[in-house]
Amino acid sequence: GGKATVRIAAHKLDRLIAGSDDLLTTRLFITHRMRELEDMMTRFTQWRWNHAMTSSDVYLLRQALASTKKPTVPPDLIIPLGHMLEFFEYDREFMTYLQHDLAAHIRATELDRSALETSTSEISDLIHDAVLIPIADILLPFSGFVREYSRSTGKQVDLIIEGEDIEMDRRILEALKDPLMHLINNSIDHGIEYPDIREGQHKPAQGIIHIRIVPHSGSKVGIEVSDDGAGIDCNTVRNAAINNGIITAREAGKLTDEEAIWLIFRSGFSIKPNVTDISGRGLGLAIVEDTVTRLGGSVILTSQRGKGTSITLRVPVRLATFRGVVVRSGSHKYVLPMQQVRQVFRAKPD
C-alpha cells in the first residue's frame, strides 16, 4: 500500500530537531569521557608496573622478618613491618581485581557508547528527514502569481518549473520563499519585454521564466531562476547605482561589466523610479544575497544582452545546527562548540 502521511505542527518538529541535537551533543560528551577513562586506565597500568617493581624489596623484607638467625630488623619494627607487608599483599590483590573490573567496565561502556552512537545517528537522520519537504510545496503558488502579475503589467509570461520533487529542509525553503518571489518579480519587471517588443526582436510574444532545481555535489542544491528577456544593461546598472548614491561616477567608470552587474545586489539599488508593492522598493536584490549568505550558500549570476538573465541560489539541503557558547573578544563575537568546551569561568578585568 501507499505510505501513510501524518501532519505534525512545525514547532513540534523544531523541538524534535533540538532534542536530537541534544542527543548528539550528549553522545559527544560521552565519547570524551570514554577517552578520559582510557587515559586513566593507561596511567593506572603504569602505576601497577611501578608498584610491581617494589616486589623484590618486599621479598627481602619478608625474608628478613622470617629469618631464624640474628634479626637484622630492630625488634620494635618487626610487628609494624609485618602489618605493612600484609597490607602490601592485600593491596596488590585488590589493585589486580580493581584493574580487571575497571577494564571490564570500560569495555562495556564502549559497547554502550557505540550502540548509542548508532541509535542517535539513526534518530537524527530520521528527524532531519522529517523536515524535508518537496520544493513544489513552496513553488506551486508561484504559477498563479506569475499569471496574475504579468497580466497586470501587460506582459505575457509563463512559468516553467523543473526538479520540484527534490526535497529540502522546510526552514530553508521558508527562508527562500520571499527571495525567490523577488527574483520572479524582477524578471517580470526588468527582464521580460512587452509582447510587441519581443515580436520585433523575433522572440515569441510570451516570455519564459524557468526555475530549475538541480542537486550539486555534497549536500547542496542549486535553484536557478532564469528568463529569456532583455538581459542586464550594465550601463543602466551603473547609472542607477550612481543615482541611488551607492557609488560615485568615478568609481562606476572603473568597473568592468562583470563587476558592474553585481551592483544589483547592493542594498538600496533600484532601477524603477516608482515604488510599488512588488518591485522597486529600494531593496534591489540585496535581500536575496543576504538570505542566501545567512543560510551558508552562494549566488551565481550570468546575463546576456537580448538573451536573458540567470541567477542561481546554491544552498544547503539541510540546516546544520549545534550547541555552543558565545564568547566576545573586543567587538567580535564567536561561538565555541559545546563538545570542545571543558570549563567556563568569568575572567576578571585585571
In order along its 350 residues, the chain shows pLDDT tens digits of 556 667 777 788 778 877 887 887 788 888 888 888 888 888 988 888 887 777 777 777 777 766 656 566 677 777 777 787 788 778 888 888 888 888 898 899 888 888 888 888 888 888 777 788 899 999 988 999 999 999 999 999 999 999 999 999 888 999 999 999 999 999 999 899 999 999 999 999 999 999 999 998 768 999 999 999 999 999 999 998 998 889 999 999 899 998 999 988 888 887 765 444 444 433 458 889 999 999 999 999 999 999 999 999 999 998 766 667 788 888 888 888 766 677 677 777 66
Q: What is the CATH number of the domain that holds 263?
A: 3.30.565.10
Concatenating the DSSP letter of every residue in 285-322 gives: THHHHHHHHHTT-EEEEEEETTTEEEEEEEEESS----
Q: How many domains does the chain have?
A: 2
- Contacts for 325 with CB less than 8 Å, ≥ 6 apart: 335, 336, 338, 341, 344
- CB–CB of 206/228 below 8 Å? no
Residue 69 lies in a domain: yes
User: In this structure, are 21 and 42 located in the same domain?
Assistant: yes
The domain of 105 spans 10-130
Mark whether 301 and 278 lie in a shared domain.
Answer: yes
Residues 310 and 166 in one domain: yes
Specify whether 29 is located in the same domain as 95. yes
* 291 in the same domain as 161: yes
Shared domain check, 212 and 267 = yes
Q: Is residue 227 part of a domain?
A: yes
Q: Which three cell numbers stand for residue 297?
A: 550558500
Instruction: Please give the model's pTM, rounded to 2 decimal places.
Output: 0.67
Separation of alpha carbons 115 and 112, rounded Å: 5
Give the end of a domain, one of 130, 162, 187. Answer: 130
Q: Is 323 a member of any domain?
A: no
